[in-house]
Amino acid sequence: MSRAKMVFSRAARLSSRSEGARESDYRIYAAYRRTGSGAFIGELKVVRITDNKVLYAFDGAPTIGPFETASDAREAAQLQGDQMVALDLVCPK
């Protein structure tokens, strides 16, 4: 199975890049999945849309969880995503 690729126009990337970084320049996709043992693991993807850079998830990224409920796993993933955005705003790479 293949995942859909996110595509953003070059004009949108260039105009956003010149205005300075802000929280609206990021997309956070927080979800969860259930393990075989019944626990819930947070799933996260953070994308800086100005240059289509995926900030999280990367090889070696820590697992978010396990949690007893799906809502706890999703909330933890969202919190981690918010932290990733805040860190990237301070020191973009």
Q: What is the pLDDT of residues 1-57, one digit of tens each?
A: 555 555 555 554 444 444 567 999 999 999 999 999 999 999 999 999 999 999 998
Whether the full predicted model's pTM is greater than 0.85, yes or no, is: no
Q: Is 47 a domain residue?
A: yes
Query: Does 9 fall in a domain?
Result: no
**Domain assignment of residue 16, yes or no:** no
Count of domains for the chain: 1
71-83 confidence digits (pLDDT tens): 999 999 999 999 9
Domain carrying residue 86: 24-90
In a domain, residue 48? The reply is yes
State how far the Cα of 44 lies from the Cα of 74, in Å rounded to an integer: 9
